[in-house]
Amino acid sequence: MKSSNSRPSRVGRNPFVHELKFTLTETIKIGLMSVTVFPVRLLLVSFLMLLAWPFAFAASLGRSDSAVEPQSWWTRFIDLCLRVIMRAMWFCGGFHWIKVKGERAAQSEVPIITAAPHSSYFDAIPVTLTMCSIVTKLESRSIPVWGTLISYIRPVFVFRSDQDSRRKTVEEIKRRAQSGGEWPQIMIFPEGTCTNRSGLILFKAGAFIPGLPVQPMVLRYPNKLDTVSWTWQGPGAFKILWLTLCQPHNPMEIEYLPIYTPSNEEKENPALFANNVRKLMAKALEVPLTDLSFDDREISLSQGPLRIHDCSSLLEFHRLVCRLGLRAGRNDKVLEEQARRARKLQGDGLSLEDFSQFLNLPVTDTLSQVHSLFDQHGDGQIDVRHHVIALSTVHRPLKSMETLKLAFTMYENEENGYVLKEDLAAIFEIMLGVKKVELSGLFSSLDGAHTAKITYDELHHFIEQHPFFVQDYLDFENHPRKRCFGQPKSCNGHNKDD
């Protein structure tokens, strides 16, 4: 699969992975703090959270979900009490001094604050300091104690079980932002997920659709040992809490940047508005922009013997199919139906018009870009089987063997189930995101007389017996083995940093 030159790939370090490595001195410090300071801090933090609960519960009684009542002396008193209690809680957790730069704009000036990078549940600190509303999943409301505190700040709840959730969430954000100061400010983390702060991933457009001025807010955790990052691959929630409470001091910086007022073009194009704000925040943070999004996380975290080795072309394909609406609602039955239809074509080339009929979609610029990714010979014809394999890969990147089985159903001989060597190479090129796969190492290691063909069962069994299959038995451009310089052990898959 080819990569388009229309958009450079800027992935770099995987933002969804966080690895903690300790020196001997740090290990000793954590051990000492674990039996001395940690239990005391955990007890105090728990007590203060419990102390805050009755205030938040009392303020939430009889309150409407669709309107905001005027503040009385009683609600102002509760608000003050909660701010003091929550600040004391963070202090007891080691966040002794929180440095604040810049000045937060009033709600009447800016209804939405965009915060980044989002890397931890400790990002709740600026929320509790300001009592801004947030966007959170509905399930958060059922968390004991903490759920009541979340409900107090009148969040915008996301109903993930509702297929129309995204549209309703955006409408609610827009309604509150345009209420003329009736609702509290909304603090939105537009990345939509936690990262390791190595770069800013793509922003979701929800905060920018209203087309109103926003105030960017950047967060920094200057600790030498990063114990706060809570990503998709790394330490779990309790380990993060334990390690953070074991630090003598946890510095944090909050910086409010100047208000960003969108141009007319940005008001009409929320994606442009979001990207320009992202650039501004990345510059303030002195971190790079990363062309990954929340929806790309599984592709970038694929694992197993057939994990994706180069995500760039598949990530580009994924963004295009999302734009076409092909990613949403894809299930195994739909993929199997497409595979059945693709098999009937037996590799016959499809033009752009034929491809649009195959997908039952109109010819658009986006569809043309998808088609061009598979136009290997530049003749305007594609093998649609390649598209089905790529779609299955991005749909279920953690289930590579299912994609491999689907690919075999399109290529295998009906009589004996064999797939030819050159066809298997094409399958691996798409699944792994690499170029020029060479299978000599694989076929020379197989038993039997058929040296240029293989069945799915034979390949499946071989892969099960060789967990470092790709590293040891395949060859392709930029193969990790080619960078070893005489150190094969570190490049045969045993080193997870490879």
Looking only at the bridges linking them, the beta strands covering 112-116 and 214-220 are parallel
Q: Is residue 334, in this structure, part of any structural domain at all?
A: yes
Q: What is the mean pLDDT of residues 146-154?
A: 89
C-alpha–C-alpha distance, residues 103 and 115, integer Å: 14
H or E element, residue 255: strand 252-256
Asked if residue 214 has pLDDT above 70, the reply is yes
Q: Residue 117: is the preceding peptide bond cis (ω within 30°)?
A: yes
Looking at per-residue pLDDT, the higher value among 38 and 325 belongs to 38
When mean pLDDT is compared over 17-31, 129-143, 151-165, 294-308, the highest value belongs to 17-31
Domain boundary among 261, 291, 321: 291
Q: Is residue 14, in this structure, part of any structural domain at all?
A: no
Q: Is residue 13, in this structure, part of any structural domain at all?
A: no
Q: Counting runs of H as helices and runs of E as strands, what totals does the chain give? A: 20, 9
Q: Indicate whether 326 and 385 sit together in one domain.
A: yes
C-alpha–C-alpha distance, residues 94 and 42, integer Å: 11
Q: Could you give the residue ranges of the DSSP H alpha helices within 325-397?
A: 332-345, 352-359, 365-373, 384-395
Residues 6+ apart with CB under 8 A from 328: 322
Domain boundary among 233, 266, 291: 291
Q: Indicate whether 478 and 346 sit together in one domain.
A: yes
Q: What is the pLDDT of residue 180?
A: 79
What Å distances lie between residue 64 and 174, 356, 423, CA to CA? 19, 49, 62
Domain boundary among 251, 272, 291: 291
CB atoms within 10 A of CB 423: 20
Q: Which domain holds residue 184?
A: 24-291
C-alpha–C-alpha distance, residues 478 and 469, integer Å: 16
Residues facing 289 on adjacent strands? 200
C-alpha–C-alpha distance, residues 231 and 239, integer Å: 12
- Among candidates 454, 459, 477, which has minimal Cα distance to 469? 459
Least-confidence region, from 218-227, 396-405, 446-455? 446-455
Q: Indicate whether 286 and 303 sit together in one domain.
A: no
Q: Is residue 433, in this structure, part of any structural domain at all?
A: yes
Q: Indicate whether 141 and 258 sit together in one domain.
A: yes
Q: Indicate whether 388 and 269 sit together in one domain.
A: no
Q: Indicate whether 409 and 269 sit together in one domain.
A: no
Q: Is residue 5, in this structure, part of any structural domain at all?
A: no
Asked if residue 411 has pLDDT above 90, the reply is yes
Q: Indicate whether 282 and 364 sit together in one domain.
A: no
Asked if residue 400 has pLDDT above 70, the reply is yes
Asked if residue 249 has pLDDT above 90, the reply is yes
Asked if residue 137 has pLDDT above 90, the reply is no
Q: Are 111 and 268 in contact (CB under 8 A)?
A: no
Helix or strand or coil: residue 9?
Answer: coil
Q: What is the mean pLDDT of residues 94-123?
A: 94
Q: What is the pLDDT of residues 181-204, one digit of tens each?
A: 788 899 999 998 999 999 999 999
C-alpha–C-alpha distance, residues 281 and 263, integer Å: 18
Q: Indicate whether 301 and 286 sit together in one domain.
A: no
Q: Is residue 184, in this structure, part of any structural domain at all?
A: yes
Q: What is the pLDDT of residue 8?
A: 43
Q: What is the pLDDT of residues 421-439, one digit of tens each?
A: 999 999 999 999 988 888 8
Output the average pLDDT for the chain.
Answer: 87
- Kindly indicate the confidence band of residue 159, based on its pLDDT and cuts at 50, 70 and 90: confident
Q: Indicate whether 439 and 467 sit together in one domain.
A: yes
Q: Indicate whether 277 and 361 sit together in one domain.
A: no
Q: What is the mean pLDDT of residues 153-171?
A: 79
Q: Is residue 74, in this structure, part of any structural domain at all?
A: yes
CA atoms within 13 A on the CB side of 248: 4
Q: Is residue 369, in this structure, part of any structural domain at all?
A: yes
For the chain, the domain total comes to 2
C-alpha–C-alpha distance, residues 279 and 493, integer Å: 36
Q: Indicate whether 246 and 176 sit together in one domain.
A: yes
Q: What is the pLDDT of residue 144?
A: 87
Q: Indicate whether 286 and 304 sit together in one domain.
A: no
